[in-house]
Amino acid sequence: MLLIAGLGNPGPEYEVTRHNIGFMLIDRLCAAYDIECTSDGLSSLWGSGSIAGEEVLLLKPQTYMNRSGDAVRWAASELSLEPVSVVVAYDDSDLAIGRLKLRPGGGSGGHKGVESIISCLGSSDFKRLRLGIGRPENSTEGLSGYVLTPFTEVECAAVDELLTRAVDSIELLIREGIGPAMNRFNPVS
């Protein structure tokens, strides 16, 4: 079994913001694989099903971004999963809009949700799917304000294509492993 957690913030005011691209990916996975992510428990909305023949639990933590680790830890514990059986999808402002990058583990890169998961799992050995949201240009709100803004109409097409590729990357990760998925989907430079 694989636990796939998409990070975001609960509530309609955050639904379409950049910080919620992890939730958007979970919604896209649900649609692609006919999984309902409506069960409430483990401090999350979740649903279980199958992707590429592998049983998965899709998770949208409802603990707010900075406490995502609580929900991921509870779900992993409930399923008796080690961190290597966890994939976390989240927004990354260091990647341009439309880019994605898979990693087998590592540090948080300053992302508070990932820091929370590392702390709560006691390990950084979980897979990451970083989804590019870009950085603000000439913004007065700074990065913390920027991540809470919706994508512009122009950006939405790139985000839609990004989410399609992210779904494909998850399927390849499940079918062939993190190495082949990184080789196919990670940017060259």
Q: How far is the C-alpha of 124 from the C-alpha of 118, rounded, in Å?
A: 5
111 is catalytic: no
Q: What is the pLDDT of residue 189?
A: 63
Which CATH superfamily is 2-185 part of? Peptidyl-tRNA hydrolase (3.40.50.1470)
Q: How far is the C-alpha of 25 from the C-alpha of 139, rounded, in Å?
A: 26
Q: How far is the C-alpha of 56 from the C-alpha of 37, rounded, in Å?
A: 11
User: Of 37, 42, 113, 40, whose CA–CA distance to 81 is shortest?
Assistant: 42
| pLDDT averaged over every residue in the chain | 95
What pTM does this model have? 0.96
**Catalytic choice (9, 18, 19, 147):** 19
What digits encode the pLDDT tens for the residues 54-92?
999 999 999 999 999 999 999 999 999 999 999 999 999
